[in-house]
Amino acid sequence: MAELFDVYEATGALIGAVPISPLELDKLHNGQTITIMFHTPRMLRDKLGERNGVFEVLELDGKLFVTNPDDVKRYIELQKAIEENAKSNSAVR
C-alpha cells in the first residue's frame, strides 16, 4: 500500500504529498528515478474535466524532488477533487 511522502521543487520548496508505493520507494532509495503519469478517471471526466500530466521523482539526501512542480500540483488537486467527489456521492446514498 502506498504512503504519502512530501515532495519538493528543485529550490527546496515543499509542494505537497504524493503516494509512493514501497516498491517505488525502494527504487528511489537505490538511486533510480520514478515516473508518475496521471489522468482523470474516465467515469469522472464529465464532472472533473480532462486533467493529465507526468512528473519524475528522485531522492537526494533523503528528500524527494520532482522535475515538474506544476504537474505535481495538478496531480494533488486532481486527487483532492476525486476524494471530494467520492464523499459527495456517498453522502447522497
Q: Within the chain, where are the H helices?
A: 22-29, 45-48, 69-92
Q: What pLDDT band is residue 88 in, cutting at 50, 70 and 90?
A: confident
pLDDT value, residue 91? 62
Residue whose entry in the numeric block shows the C-alpha cell 486533467: 51
Q: Indicate if the pLDDT at residue 59 is higher than 80.
A: yes
What pTM, to 2 d.p., does this model score?
Answer: 0.84
Positive or negative, the Cα torsion across 10, 12, 15, 16? positive
Q: What is the DSSP letter of 11?
A: T
Helix, coil or strand: residue 42: helix
